[in-house]
């Protein structure tokens, strides 16, 4: 009898019971402190398409929904004249226990000659790196196989750390490749680390990461002059 025949011999209920969810329709429950069983990988999201930060935020909310402690540290997103000062994700984060964020960027965008201070961009990026190093060290000082306080300070440890746009900071010469590699090297075993940004392939990360995803642009409304839209880009 072939393997296909073996599978077809199962009834639908037997097949459902064999899945991780046991065939039970998913639903919402109260968020209680918990600890992940399989965290500890390093992810990198890069490319010229929309969706890198969006994907990392989705993972952050998913982990928070399971009661895992999450923190998002944003590089290079200090605001611009194309977006409002209040962003939808910040309001949502404030409403969800176990996830928090910091924005460490300087107003404007480095290298675009938009009138923003280039030296200040550098200082902010270096400050964000120092903060990332503190958070990674703090995660290494606690037992990440145990639940953490949902509303705790990220300096008391997190299960998932998102370093949003850190790869752009490397692209812009504000950080060195070695800065990112050093963070990965000292990361505690059970900390899930997510790195985003960059239109240039971060080949220096290929041997140091577990997941690398390219978000490729096929078509983008920005190319037709459509500016950032409330609810999709901010």
Q: Burial code of 32-67, b = ≥16 C-beta within 10 A, e = fewer?
A: ebbbbeebeebbbbbbeeeebbebbbebbbebbbeb
Q: Could you tell me the domains of the chain?
A: 38-224 (3.40.50.300)
pLDDT exceeds cutoff 60 at 3: no
* 205-231 per-position pLDDT tens digit: 999 999 999 999 788 777 777 777 777
Which residues, 6+ apart, have CB-to-CB distance to 169 below 8 Å? 75, 76, 125, 128, 129, 175, 197
Q: Give the per-residue pLDDT at 127.
A: 93
Q: Give the per-residue pLDDT at 178.
A: 98
Scanning the chain, the segments in alpha helix (DSSP H) are 3-8, 12-17, 52-65, 88-95, 118-140, 166-171, 177-186
Percent of the residues in the chain that have a pLDDT greater than 90, as a whole number: 62
**Which residue in 199, 142, 191, 193 sits closest to 168, CA to CA?**
199
* pLDDT greater at residue 122 or residue 3: 122
Residue count of the chain? 234
* 91-146 per-position pLDDT tens digit: 999 999 999 999 886 544 645 444 445 678 788 899 999 999 999 999 999 999 99
User: pTM of the predicted model, to two decimals?
Assistant: 0.84
Q: Give the per-residue pLDDT at 120.
A: 80
Mean pLDDT of the chain: 86
Q: Give the per-residue pLDDT at 213.
A: 97
* 4-17 per-position pLDDT tens digit: 455 557 787 777 77
Helix axes 177-186, 118-140, angle to 10 degrees: 10
Q: Give the per-residue pLDDT at 130.
A: 97
């Amino acid at each position: 009898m072939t393997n296909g025949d073996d599978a077809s011999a199962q009834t639908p209920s037997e097949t459902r019971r064999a899945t991780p969810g046991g065939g039970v329709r998913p639903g919402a429950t109260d968020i209680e402190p918990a600890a992940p069983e399989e965290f500890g990988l390093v992810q990198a999201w890069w490319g010229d398409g929309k969706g890198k930060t969006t994907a990392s935020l989705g993972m952050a909310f998913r982990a928070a929904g399971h009661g895992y402690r999450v923190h998002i540290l944003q590089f290079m997103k200090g605001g611009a004249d194309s977006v409002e000062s209040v962003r939808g994700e910040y309001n949502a984060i404030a409403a969800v226990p176990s996830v928090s964020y910091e924005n460490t960027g300087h107003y404007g965008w480095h290298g675009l000659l938009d009138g923003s201070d280039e030296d200040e961009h550098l200082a902010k990026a270096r400050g964000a790196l120092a903060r990332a190093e503190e958070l990674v060290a703090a995660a290494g000082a606690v037992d990440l196989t145990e639940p953490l306080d949902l509303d705790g300070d990220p300096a008391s440890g997190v299960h998932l750390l998102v370093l949003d746009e850190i790869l752009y900071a490397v692209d812009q010469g504000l950080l060195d490749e070695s800065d990112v590699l050093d963070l990965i090297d000292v990361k505690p075993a059970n900390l899930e680390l997510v790195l985003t940004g960059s239109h240039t392939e971060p080949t220096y990360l290929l041997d140091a990461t577990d997941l690398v995803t390219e978000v490729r642009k096929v078509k983008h409304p920005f190319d037709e002059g459509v500016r950032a839209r409330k609810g999709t880009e901010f």
